Chain A
Amino acid sequence: MFVVVSLILMTVDHRQHHLESVRAVLSLAVSPLQYMLGLPVGAGHWLGEALTSRTTLQEENAALRSQQLLQSARLQKMAALEAENMRLRALLDSSKKVGERVRVGELLEVDIDPFSQQVVINKGSRDGVEAGQAVVDAEGVMGQVVHVAPFTSTVMLITDLSHAVPVAVNRSGLRAIAVGTGSAARLDLPHLLLNADIQEGDLLVTSGLGGRFPPGYPVAIVEKVERNTGHSFAEVTARPTARLEQSREVLLVRTEPTDAAASACNPEHGPCLPATAPSPATTGKGN
Chain B
Amino acid sequence: MVLVTRHRGWVIAATIIAAWALEIMPLPSWLALFRPEWPAMVLIYWCLALPQRVGIGIGWSVGLVVDVLRGALLGQHAMGYAVMAYLAVKLHRRIRIFPLWQQALTVMVFITLHMLLVLWVLGMIGQSRGMLTYWLPAISSAALWPWMFSGLRGVRRRFHVT
* Partner-B contacts on A (CB < 8 A): 2-3, 5-10, 13-14, 19, 22-23, 26-27, 29-30, 33-34, 36-37, 41, 109-116, 118, 120, 146-147, 154, 161-162, 270
Q: Using Cβ atoms and an 8 Å threshold, which residues of chain A touch B56? A: 2
With known contacts A9-B78, A34-B24, A26–B64 Cβ distance under 8 A: yes
The main secondary structure of chain A at its interface with chain B is helix
Q: How far is the CB of B8 from chain A (nearest CB, A)?
A: 22
Interface residues on B, range: 35 or more
Name the CB-closest residue of A to B60. Answer: A2
Inter-subunit contact A118/B71 (CB<8 Å): yes
Question: By the criterion CB–CB under 8 Å, are B26 and A41 in contact?
Answer: yes
What residue in chain A is nearest B128 (Cβ atoms)? A161
Closest to A1 in B: B56
Q: How far is the CA of A72 from the CA of B76 in the complex (A)?
A: 50
Inter-chain contact B65/A10, CB cutoff 8 Å: no
Question: B24 to A146, Cβ gap below 8 A?
Answer: no
Please, which residue of chain A has its CB at the minimum distance from the CB of B27?
A: A111
Instruction: Please judge, given known A-B contacts A3-B83, A9-B78, whether A30 and B65 are in contact too, CB under 8 Å.
Output: yes
Whether B74 pairs with A112 at a CB distance below 8 angstroms is no
Contacting residues, chain B, for A162 (C-beta < 8 A):
126-127
- Chain B residue with Cβ nearest A22: B74
> In the complex, which residues of chain B have a beta carbon less than 8 angstroms from the beta carbon of A9?
74-75, 78
Known contacts A10-B73, A30-B69, A110-B24; is-contact A115 B129 (Cβ 8 Å): yes
Q: Say yes or no: A6 contacts B29, CB within 8 Å.
A: no
- Are A112 and B69 closer than 8 Å at their CB atoms? yes
